[in-house]
Amino acid sequence: MSNLIRVRAGLLRETHPGERRVALTPDDVRRLSQRMSIRFERGCGVGAGHADDAYIVAGAEPAEFTDMVSSSDIFVSVRKPAATRIFPATAVLIFLGSNAAPVAGLPAGQRPLHLDIARLSGMQGIKGADISSRQAAITGHAAVLEAARQFGISHPMLMVDQSFVRPVKMAALGSDAASLQALATARRLGALTHGFSLAKNSQEKIERLGAKFLGMSSELARLRQELSVPLSKMQLITTNVVIPGQTPPVLLDEDMLSQLSPGTVVVDLAAESGGNCALTRTDETINVFGIRIIGSTILASDEAAEASRHFSDGLRNLLEYLIDEHGVLRLDSGDPVVAALTDKANPVRRIVL
């Protein structure tokens, strides 16, 4: 089955508190304007350093959300739009949202079609379209910089102790793009780095970055026991162990947290999914047992300009794949990219305009 529609796109202003990224930059709007019309919400790019005038010069037209809804076929954003924003069932929404819950009370056929960019992670065949991994890497980098701010130190990540200087000891739990980038950033800043992951073949990835591998165990209780002693010697810990379709495992329970050195900073990058730390509070920083636990889900916004550039580049590549040079959006259920983007519970369907 194929769906053919003439594309009119709406670029949304982010509604998640603190989110400063934008899904498309003016440069990519200019390149896409050859095959699609784009309307944008005023102020959508300000947080990433892009003024409304830049979008107008690039060929986009400013519009209020209510007007945009009635005259657009697809809507793009970085994150899931607020629940108060209602879209027609014929709309196509494109954003990062593997954890986005379906609209309550609506059967699949009455929901907008959600093309989840996160599902393209690791997929080959579309240049630069693995947006999720790019954003994760930026998040891992930002996590270490935020921890440095919490410590009150700057480059290099060294702590002065009277007559000698000792490097911060840092551990990353996870081997995804965010965790590996956190290790790389911390090491460049002078930290002694350590890594751990449940994933197969993770030891080589971690050691390639100059970090010491902490080992692994498939049994959670034993795993906590094995990690307890080495983690108690760290000053910075990042966690991002997420199992698709499941609640993240609790790698740091209260007992382990109480044994960490006073002043330790824990950045729980799995906070949006529930967290790897027993006491994590989503989008909050808490102080407990003399340590700080950061549960921020908007760390990439600390690098909003660069993060938006990478997001926009990947999204443009994806849109150029889905939309032909005549401005026709082709959603073919037999296309592996389209199949990956869509939820099996809400598959590609014919859109009548």
Q: Burial code of 247-264, b = ≥16 C-beta within 10 A, e = fewer?
A: ebbbbbeeebbeebeeeb
Q: Predicted confidence band at 199 (pLDDT cuts at 50, 70, 90)? A: confident
Average pLDDT over residues 213-238: 88
pLDDT tens-place string over residues 98-129: 655 555 555 555 678 999 998 888 776 677 67
Amino acid at 238: T
User: Does residue 48 register a pLDDT over 90?
Assistant: yes
Helix (H) or strand (E) segment spanning residue 266:
strand 265-268
Q: What is residue 29's predicted lDDT score, i.e. its pLDDT? A: 98
Q: What is residue 223's predicted lDDT score, i.e. its pLDDT? A: 87
Q: Predicted confidence band at 350 (pLDDT cuts at 50, 70, 90)? A: very low
Q: How far apart are CA 93 and CA 128, in angstroms?
A: 20
User: Does residue 137 register a pLDDT over 90?
Assistant: yes
Residue from 22, 20, 19 nearest 60 by CA? 22
Average pLDDT over residues 205-224: 87
Q: What is residue 339's predicted lDDT score, i.e. its pLDDT? A: 86
Average pLDDT over residues 31-42: 94
User: Does residue 21 register a pLDDT over 80?
Assistant: yes
Ramachandran quadrant class, 292 (left: phi over 0; alpha: psi -120 to 50; beta: rest): beta
Q: Predicted confidence band at 243 (pLDDT cuts at 50, 70, 90)? A: confident
Q: What is residue 163's predicted lDDT score, i.e. its pLDDT? A: 55
Structure-derived torsion over alpha carbons of residues 173, 177, 178, 184, reported in degrees to the nearest 10? 80
Q: Which residue would you say has higher pLDDT here, 151 or 311? A: 311
Q: Predicted confidence band at 353 (pLDDT cuts at 50, 70, 90)? A: very low
User: Does residue 208 register a pLDDT over 90?
Assistant: yes
Q: Output the pTM of the full model.
A: 0.89
Q: What is residue 166's predicted lDDT score, i.e. its pLDDT? A: 78
Q: What is residue 351's predicted lDDT score, i.e. its pLDDT? A: 40
Helix (H) or strand (E) segment spanning residue 182:
helix 177-188
User: Does residue 174 register a pLDDT over 60?
Assistant: yes
Q: Predicted confidence band at 344 (pLDDT cuts at 50, 70, 90)? A: low
User: Does residue 296 register a pLDDT over 90?
Assistant: yes
Q: Mean pLDDT over all residues of the chain?
A: 88
Q: How many CB atoms lie within 10 A of CB 285?
A: 15
Q: Which residue would you say has higher pLDDT here, 280 or 112? A: 280
Q: What is residue 119's predicted lDDT score, i.e. its pLDDT? A: 87
Q: What is residue 333's predicted lDDT score, i.e. its pLDDT? A: 79
Q: What is residue 134's predicted lDDT score, i.e. its pLDDT? A: 93
Q: Predicted confidence band at 2 (pLDDT cuts at 50, 70, 90)? A: low
Q: What is residue 54's predicted lDDT score, i.e. its pLDDT? A: 98
Average pLDDT over residues 165-174: 90
User: Does residue 161 register a pLDDT over 80?
Assistant: no
User: Does residue 52 register a pLDDT over 90?
Assistant: yes
Which are the contacts of 131, defined by CB distance < 8 A and separation ≥ 6? 96, 117, 118, 120, 310, 311, 314, 315, 318
